[in-house]
Amino acid sequence: MRFFFSALTLVAAFAQPPDFQRDVQPIFQKKCMACHGASNQMNGLRLDDGEAALKGGYSGVAIVPGTSATSPLIARVTATEKAKRMPPAGDPLSADQIATLKSWIDSGAKWPVTAKKQASPKSTHWSYQPILRPTLPEVKQSSWVRNPIDAFVLARLEKENIQPSPEASKTVLLRRLKLDLLGLPPTPEEVVEWQSDKRANAYELWVDRFLQSPHYGERWARPWLDLAHYADSDGYEKDNVRNGAWRYRHWVINALNEGMPFDRFAVEQLAGDLLPNSTLEQKVATGFLRNTLTNREAGVDRREDRFEQVINRVNTTGTTFMGVTIGCTQCHDHKYDPFSQKEYYQLFAFFNDAEDEDVDAPLAGEMGPYLRALPEYRNQKNEILSKYKIPELQARWEKAMLTAIDDPGKDVEVDFNVTSMKAMLDFADRMIRKGPQGRTERESERLTNYFVNNPGTAFKGDKEILAHIKEAREKLNEANAKIPFLTQAQTVRRNQDKSVTNIAVRGDWKSPGVEVVPGTLSVLPPMKADGARATRLDLARWLVSKENPLTPRVIANRNWQEFFSRGLVRTSEDMGVSGEKPSHPELLDWLATQLLDNGWNVKQLHKTIVMSATYRQSSNSRQDLTDRDADNMLLARQIRMRLPAELIRDAALSVGGILNPSIGGKSIKPALPKGVAELGYGNSVKWKESEGPERYRRGLYIHFQRTAPYPQLMNFDEPDSNVACSRRRTSNTPLQALNLMNDPVFFEAAAALGEQVSTQATGLTDKLEGLFLQCLGRKPVESERASLAGYLDRQTALLVKEGKSTAESQKGAWAGLARVLLNTDEFITRE
């Protein structure tokens, strides 16, 4: 019966074309508009507006006027496979409805102009609006105000009738300042000097002193490296070591120490390679983009891995500079923010032509010895190559590889070799195609190096040739070992051949949609491009342009976060519609304005923050605020912050007197407990412990192996370095307790400290106070002194009972006491 009626209607429909407004529009409204309407345009398709609807979506046209048979829209509503059928939820279209649509399309898909679309909602969200230049609010207790920050904070507190907290004690302030600016605890000498410093502007002078210290760059590099998701290895299964990764970290530390303005800092990292006459250091800066993971699993599809890398670069840029969850639009238009999927791929297009390039980037002192050794090295190398006829053999191998690349499927063994070469050696096929004459010296080196290590099956198991190559390889390795080390940096460069970008439909790289050109988000002020086609450099300059309200707010907020444990917008990674609202919007805009007015001077911003009365408040909890502001939104006090993973290590090494304070340079490998490196795939992670003072360098230099990260870092919430991290979590776990109590590094620091104190020629009280001061930057109060003394007595007695001599027992007890102090909450906390 049903079929009978439908057939009847069908006949009727053919007889007279349907009227759009009466017959067609209601179907769209009822069945399609939730996802393809004014507020939401899945896959770019919009069915509430004739012009847009006939233009189609990211996959191309949906409606072909005149031929329903070739209209994808009809194919989708009639699809038998559930995954393809539209609408994806609810009942499918009835036969009548389908017939109406078909008939409407066949009759020309007429869309009367009167059937007007609803206006798209324009964003009124605060963070996309221009930055206000707020006027300072009036406050009653103006004597509390040290700088404009305090006026904003106090105005709010007065409105709520809340008193700010008193200033923290002098000793707390010194420890707070030094930990916040340099990431190290004050020495007992500094505490003494500080306490006796009677200069009127002593506080400011100490702030300036810390801001000039080269440890400032180390302290402030780390949060930036969290965003860059720096690591020393590729990630994924193979997780190969990235020998030159640290060169980028070195650049970050230097840039921060020299006070590089943030706009330059940003532009060089995003597009240093595109600056006119760019310097080596500016290229090194683009290492920012090289922290994306690389999958070198032999069976990987290179195109897919590259797609994932570009996605990661877009998302990292979104989080880092724009503070928006742009990553959501990889697959569909944003659910909350006014970003379309098309805009995502316009951003993608900026990065799509960036290609990896490793360049020589020597540090001072490297080049001389290298150049002196180079002629001898080249001679030796060429001798070996010609003696073993490597160029000839390599040519045979290259030919076999090239044949298999161009015409796969003939020889599975060579095919396999090609797959794994492409995964392991970047641009392998391009280098082969260039031929021996067309390659740079580095390219020749890399290719030959790969060849002698992986001659593969081009020689069909010819044992003689393979043995011959092996011998050559050993000789080459010997020669290579003699050439002085020359640092290489990971950078990017532009490859114009890779400029075509298509929307990936539903975020799937295998479903290319319409082509897009580089472009920015329409909700923000437009970009000014230098050439016809905008580049990464244009994007970078646009991000830090005076007109863009987002970046200054994001950067000001994130810097604030480091001093108060949370930003004025707590969700520092998301200032978009679904992020939290700012607690002090005017203060945020004031800080952003300061940044812009001071030429993006971040050190100056830090100084302004730490000079404020707001920053100097006590961090003690206040019972009067428990109900009203337990989370300290209103900033009526400072807040206690557990130190980040690296700084916990630094503090212990520092008070133990074993910290190696050298700045910058390569990554280090401290002793690793057995069983950690073994976590890496197939026992491939090699962890050669650093020797001597190298192993006592600061935590930020610890080699970060993505599949087997250093456990102390992970136990204390270091991010996993796979995606940009804008704020760390702070957990509090028993594994942390075990780590601090029993990890040999901390035990060693405690033992060194115990030894140092116990051998001092002073009385018991002085020793106790000295130890306490060294660890916590203050003297103990009476009850604390009693706890320490009690422990010392009991511990000495216990060790004697356990059979140790009195001298040994005393020494052991002092080491134990140092260990106790390193395990207090106060030690690992910035008060």
Partner 1 sequence: MNFMHFDEYRQLQARRQFLKNAACGFGSLALGGMMASDGLLGAVADPLAPRKPHFAPKAKHVIFMFMEGGPSQMDLFDPKPALQKWHGQSLPAEMTKDLKLAFIKPTAAVLGSPRQFTQHGKSGMVLSDYLPNLATCVDDICMVRSMQTDAFNHHPGQLLLFTGSIQFGRPTMGAWVTYGLGSESQNLPGFVVLSSGVGTSGGATNFLSGFMPSTYQGAQFRNSGEPILYLSNPDGVSREAQRAGLDTIKELNEKHYTDTGDMEIASRIQSYELAYRMQMAAPELLDFSKEDPKTLEMYGVGKKPTHEFASNCLLARRMVERGVRYILMMDASWDTHTNLNKKLKEKCDASDQPTAALIKDLKQRGLLDDTLIVWGGEFGRTAMAEIRNLSDPDNAGRDHHPNGYSMWLAGGGVKGGTTIGATDEMGFNITEDKVHVHDLQATILNQLGFDHTKLTFRHMGRDYRLTDLSGEVVRKMLV
Residues 282-311 that bind partner 1 (CB under 8 A): 293, 295, 297-300
Q: What are phi and psi of 668, to 5 degrees?
A: -115, 160
360 contributes a contact to partner 1 by CB under 8 A: no
674 contributes a contact to partner 1 by CB under 8 A: yes
Residue 711 · residue 678 · CB < 8 Å: no
Which of 375, 366, 376, 377 is CA-nearest to residue 488? 366
88 contributes a contact to partner 1 by CB under 8 A: no
340 contributes a contact to partner 1 by CB under 8 A: no
167 contributes a contact to partner 1 by CB under 8 A: no
Among 150, 180, 573, 589, binds partner 1 (CB under 8 A): 573
465 contributes a contact to partner 1 by CB under 8 A: no
Number of Cβ atoms within 10 Å of the Cβ of 437? 6
Distance CA 488, CA 363 (A): 10
**Full DSSP string of 767-831:** HHHHHHHHHHSS---HHHHHHHHHHHHHHHHHHHHTT--HHHHHHHHHHHHHHHHHTSTTTTEE-
Stretch that binds partner 1, among 73-81, 436-444, 692-700, 703-711 (CB under 8 A): 703-711
512 contributes a contact to partner 1 by CB under 8 A: no
Stretch that binds partner 1, among 131-139, 242-250, 254-262, 573-581 (CB under 8 A): 573-581
Query: Residue type for 733, please?
Result: T
CB of 594 to partner 1, least distance (A): 28
**Identity of the residue, 511 or 620, whose beta carbon is nearer to partner 1 in the bound complex:** 620
Phi-psi label, residue 455: left if phi above 0, alpha if psi -120 to 50, beta otherwise? alpha
680 contributes a contact to partner 1 by CB under 8 A: yes
Strands (E), 370-500: 488-494
CB of 369 to partner 1, least distance (A): 38
Number of Cβ atoms within 10 Å of the Cβ of 662? 13
Q: What six digits make up the tokens of 734?
A: 């028993």
**Identity of the residue, 24 or 648, whose beta carbon is nearer to partner 1 in the bound complex:** 648
Among 574, 586, 650, 769, binds partner 1 (CB under 8 A): 574
Question: Which residues, 6 or more positions from 468, have their beta carbon under 8 angstroms from its beta carbon?
Answer: 388, 393
Specify the 3-state DSSP secondary structure of 382. Answer: helix
CB of 523 to partner 1, least distance (A): 16
**Identity of the residue, 605 or 636, whose beta carbon is nearer to partner 1 in the bound complex:** 636
Question: Interaction with partner 1 in 522-561: which residues (CB under 8 A)?
Answer: none
Question: Interaction with partner 1 in 414-433: which residues (CB under 8 A)?
Answer: 415-416, 419
**Identity of the residue, 152 or 321, whose beta carbon is nearer to partner 1 in the bound complex:** 321
Per-residue binding letters, 210-249, with partner 1 (x by CB under 8 A): --------------------------xx-x----------
Among 389, 468, 493, 640, binds partner 1 (CB under 8 A): 640
Residue 458 · residue 414 · CB < 8 Å: yes
Distance CA 625, CA 603 (A): 32
**Identity of the residue, 336 or 370, whose beta carbon is nearer to partner 1 in the bound complex:** 336
Distance CA 528, CA 308 (A): 28
CB of 87 to partner 1, least distance (A): 15
Query: Residue type for 418, please?
Result: V
**Identity of the residue, 217 or 456, whose beta carbon is nearer to partner 1 in the bound complex:** 456
CB of 757 to partner 1, least distance (A): 16
Distance CA 710, CA 704 (A): 7
Distance CA 774, CA 543 (A): 45
Q: Number of residues in contact with partner 1, rule: CB under 8 A?
A: 102
38 contributes a contact to partner 1 by CB under 8 A: no
CB of 743 to partner 1, least distance (A): 5
Number of Cβ atoms within 10 Å of the Cβ of 473? 19
743 contributes a contact to partner 1 by CB under 8 A: yes
Among 578, 598, 601, 756, binds partner 1 (CB under 8 A): 578
741 contributes a contact to partner 1 by CB under 8 A: yes
Distance CA 626, CA 178 (A): 29
Distance CA 671, CA 157 (A): 50
Distance CA 229, CA 606 (A): 23
Stretch that binds partner 1, among 25-33, 44-52, 687-695, 718-726 (CB under 8 A): 718-726
Stretch that binds partner 1, among 4-12, 98-106, 444-452, 676-684 (CB under 8 A): 676-684
Question: Which residues, 6 or more positions from 742, have their beta carbon under 8 angstroms from its beta carbon?
Answer: none
**Full DSSP string of 289-339:** GGGS-----TT--HHHHHHHHHHHHHHHHIIIII-S-GGGGGTSS-SSSS-
Residue 349 · residue 419 · CB < 8 Å: no
Among 731, 759, 765, 805, binds partner 1 (CB under 8 A): 731
Q: What six digits make up the tokens of 227?
A: 């965003």
Distance CA 665, CA 645 (A): 20
Question: Interaction with partner 1 in 440-459: which residues (CB under 8 A)?
Answer: 457
CB of 348 to partner 1, least distance (A): 16
Q: What six digits make up the tokens of 448?
A: 């030959």
Among 8, 679, 693, 806, binds partner 1 (CB under 8 A): 679
Among 392, 631, 689, 766, binds partner 1 (CB under 8 A): 631
Question: Interaction with partner 1 in 749-788: which residues (CB under 8 A)?
Answer: 783-784, 787-788
Among 570, 616, 669, 698, binds partner 1 (CB under 8 A): 570
CB of 64 to partner 1, least distance (A): 27
